[in-house]
Amino acid sequence: MMPYLNFYKNYLQIQMTEFLNGLWFWLRRIPLIGKSISPKFYGMRDLKTVILVVFKWLSLPLTVLRKSFLVFIAWLVAFGVKNLSLQKESVLWDTFRIDYPEIFHWTLTIFLLFCIFEQLSFVKASSGSLFRGIAFAKMFRLSYGDTLKKLNRINLVMSLLAYIFPLGILGLIYHQSFVAIVLPSSFRLLTLNFALFLVSKNWWVDILDSYQKKIFKYSYNLVVFGGGVFGLFYLTLVHTLEWTALSAWIILILASVSFLLSQKKKLSQRFIQSIFRNLAYHEQIVTEAKSNQSNTGLKAAQKSSQKIEVTDEQELFDKFSGIQLLNRLLFKRYRKIFKKKLFYRLGGLGLAFLIILGVYAYLVIRFGKTNYLTFNQVGNILPSIFFIMYLASISKEVVAIYYTKCDQAMLNYPFYRTEQTILQSFIGRLKQSFILNTPIVVALFINVFLGILLFGKAIPLSFYGLIVFYGVAVNLLFSFHELFLYYILQPFDREGGMKNPIFTVINGIFYYFCIQNYQLANRFDETTTYVLTISIIIVVYVSLGLIIVKLKAPKRFKLK
Amino acid sequence: MQLVLENIDKAFDDKQLFNDVTFKFETGKIYGLLGRNGSGKTTLFNCIARNLSVDSGSIAIIDDEGQKMTNYENTEIGFVTTTTHLPDFMTGLEFVRFVMDLNRERLTTTLSASDNLTRYGIKVSDQNKLLRDYSHGMKNKVQMLVTEVTNAPIYLLDEPLTSFDPVAAYEVKERIRELKSRAIVIFSTHILELAKELCDEIVLLHDQKLEVLGNDKLQSQDFEKEIVTILSEEHDNDALS
């Protein structure tokens, strides 16, 4: 008993110490007042112990309340099912009663099922409490098996103590106090002992390993969860389940015997290694979930480490050197990511192509008329290309790959930050970005031409040349813009997170411009004027941008 | 006491790290584990420390009575990793004190937590600072200290001296020498001079096997050259295959 108490006391103190130190650390970082907060608090062990005791006592009612809520939910389900099953034709709320004995029995059944499900995550070597326990044991040089066993038993006792109050109330209402308290408590102990027995056996890990295979996983879930839910309904609705004092005694005896038998059981090494394996998998998922919060390009880049392609690069080595070689190698090795992105985007545009053809065929068959689009209406379609390109352009991914797979490391070296290298690298990357975006722009404009050819027969062929010019300008803009901001603002921090708020603001403005392009187009009477104006603006923006890159990028393109 | 590796195999995907490795480590000796980067030194330590399983074969401890334990506890192993694993929001003193409280029955020291920290060169004024604010070397000292005081019969030290200042390095070397009278000490390092100075036996991990370097070579003038030649052979074989 004493080793358990000593362990639990230390465990609580460690948790509270880390919490209080963390809180103090945070307070000390608050601007203005932080400086006046003394770090001496970190050394005040006695004060922290006092706070722990006070905190524990204050949190006691909250714990009891949380457990009471769970019992209440179980009771509410039982209460609802019982009363609704008695309603014949329509629901009569004034006939609802709480004193049906079945409500008590069903509440306990639901609670017992909950106990089984709770132990499932333990025996599957994959619960948060197991992961925390293992980390705790590792950090404080404790036995993994012993620590997990102690923590589980302590948690069980603490939880049972907290359940006494709500279960006691339930027992008082239905005049079955002994059954209400003893039966669930004994059952929880029994399931834990049974779980400890399972995890002490090596064959259990073989079963767990087979569980990792999907087919077993599904059948297992079907049998355990499906069977559990079905069993509950079957027992409650078809057979009226009764939990008596005798069943409480039987379970109490079983729990006591199994407790004695499980005293010397040790968690098997293979089970502990399963926890380590699941923990590594869990950490990977958490890391991926964190990366999902960052921008899409960065997400793709971070995932891309598994997708690097080994390619035949001798030709590149023969033809290029220096920064050009580096950029081309980078492109070649990560082309699989770009290919995949392009594939989906071109697939979407291919679908649009088929839809246009389908609509055309339908209109011809139904009405026989095809000359729908006028010159100005075509002009109204063109601004939408801006927004489509904003969504479809591959530049975000390209920039993120540059950063995470190359610049994040290379920017540490002075030779990589020289003016000449930066400018060469910028131009090379702009070309590559332009080439990558070209299939998207081409596919987009094939759709536009198809639409004009099919529906706008009166439109002169000379206009097509202007649209091609517009297409090149749009491609240039979307290939240039993201890269330009990257070189001038370098928005990523060392961990790959987004750091620069100006980058976000400028991107927001650019997004707004892409949407509002319709409004701009409406201000022009002639479509030709709009197309020419926009194309010239783009060329001017890119030219000015290139000058800014030449002047500013060597100073600003660095690690944050 | 002996630590016995019998016919162990371990691979990660296509990379075979150990192939039918059999070896015996004994109390009273300091073993220097040498190998090229990626040869599997840390993986071997993790397998011995029970953090990783081996694909086949067994790792066992044979106690002084000759009793063989394949199912030994992780606490039998004092493992000092290259990267520190310490609670950020705890002071050095608090952490050492908690480790000592939780491992009361296994302690090798009668000194207080504060005295132990001082013994490892951590000043009293630094003991009440958060571990997150400790330098890498100070964190390593704390890690080394808590591993040492929790009395394991086997110590695995993964490049333990790389971040210590000269004084601390000297003191830790003394600690390691003290340990060998009661424990098996295996430490990995890339610093050949250190290995020569500290180790009773050099074990090379190469060609997916463990191999002892003869004692005559350990004492010889050409020790460094010898090691480089052997490990380069392995590298060249890899490159050819």
CATH number where B7 lies: 3.40.50.300
Give B-chain residues touching A39 at CB under 8 angstroms.
128-129
With beta carbons under 8 A apart, name residues in chain A contacting B104.
Answer: 6
Structural domain containing residue A346: 322-556
Half-sphere exposure of A497 (CA within 13 A, CB side): 6
In the listed set A273, A291, A309, which residue is the last one of a domain according to the structure? A291
**Nearest C-alpha in A relative to B105:** A3
Residues of chain A with pLDDT under 70: 88-93, 211-221, 232-233, 235-240, 284-312, 368-376, 378-379, 457-458, 494-499, 560
pLDDT of residue A560: 67
Please tell me which of the candidates B75, B90, B97 has its beta carbon nearest to residue A142. Answer: B75
The reply to whether residue A140 touches residue B103, judged by beta carbons under 8 angstroms, is: yes
Supply the pLDDT for residue A69: 92
Which residues in chain B are closer than 8 Å to A138, comparing Cβ atoms?
A: 85
Residues of B in contact with A18 (CB under 8 A): 87, 89-90
φ, ψ of residue A550 in degrees (nearest 5)? -60, -40
pTM greater than 0.90 (yes/no): no
Would you state the structure tokens that stand for residue A45, as one six-digit string? 């062990």
- A139–B87 CB contact, under 8 Å: yes
Q: Same domain for A81 and A214? A: yes
Is A435 part of a structural domain of the chain?
yes
Q: Which contacts (CB < 8 Å, 24+ apart) does range A417-422 have?
A: A417/A554, A417/A557, A417/A558, A418/A554, A419/A550, A419/A554, A421/A322, A421/A323, A422/A487, A422/A549, A422/A553, A422/A554, A422/A557
Both A383 and A521 in one domain: the answer is: yes
> Quick one: CA dihedral A503, A505, A508, A513, positive or negative?
negative
Let me know: does B99 contact B171? Beta carbons within 8 Å. Answer: no
Whether residue B57 is contained in a domain is answered as yes
**Domain presence at residue B142:** no
Q: Which of B58, B59, B75 to mutate to test the interface with A (most CBs of A within 10 A)?
A: B75
**A522 CB within 8 Å of a chain B CB:** no
Q: What is the pLDDT at residue B31?
A: 93
Residue among A140, A144, A269 minimizing CB distance to B98? A140
B111, part of any domain: no
Same domain as A221, residue A331: no
CA distance A248 to A245: 5
| B25 is a domain residue | yes
B219 in a structural domain? yes
Task: Say which residue, B114 or A521, is predicted with more confidence.
Answer: B114
A286 and A394 in a common domain: no
Q: Is A369 found in the same domain as A271?
A: no
pLDDT at position A91 is 67
d(CA A70, CA B85) in angstroms, rounded, equals: 37
Residue A545 lies in a domain: yes
Domain limits for position B47:
2-86+152-240
Look at residue B5 in the predicted model and tell me its pLDDT: 93
Domain boundary among A274, A291, A308: A291
How many folded domains does chain A comprise?
Answer: 2
Q: In B, what residues contact A, Cβ < 8 A?
A: 50-53, 71, 73-75, 78, 85-87, 89-91, 93-94, 97-99, 101-104, 127-130, 132, 146-147, 150
Sheet containing B209-213, strands listed edge to edge, beginning at the edge strand earlier in sequence: B77-80, B154-158, B184-188, B30-34, B201-206, B209-213
Same domain, yes or no, for A327 and A247? no
A145 located within any domain? yes
Instruction: Report the residue from A21, A143, A270 with minimal CB separation from B90.
Output: A21
Residue B241: predicted pLDDT: 44
- Residue B120 lies inside a defined structural domain of this protein: no
Predicted pLDDT of residue A256: 93
Overall number of domains in chain B: 1
Whether A25 is in a domain gets the answer: no
Q: Which chain B residues contact residue A142 at CB under 8 A? A: 75, 102-103
Residue of A nearest to B76 (CA): A143
Does one domain contain both A272 and A366? no
Query: Same domain for A272 and A160?
Result: yes
Picking from B75, B101, B146, the nearest residue to A143 by CB comes out as: B75
For residue A14, the chain B residues in CB contact (below 8 A) are 87, 90, 98
CA B81 to chain CA centroid, Å, is: 8
Give the DSSP per-residue string, A188-205.
HHHHHHHHHHHHTSHHHH
Asked if the Cβ–Cβ distance from A142 to B90 is below 8 Å, we say: no
Q: What is the pLDDT of residues B200-212, one digit of tens each?
A: 889 998 888 888 8
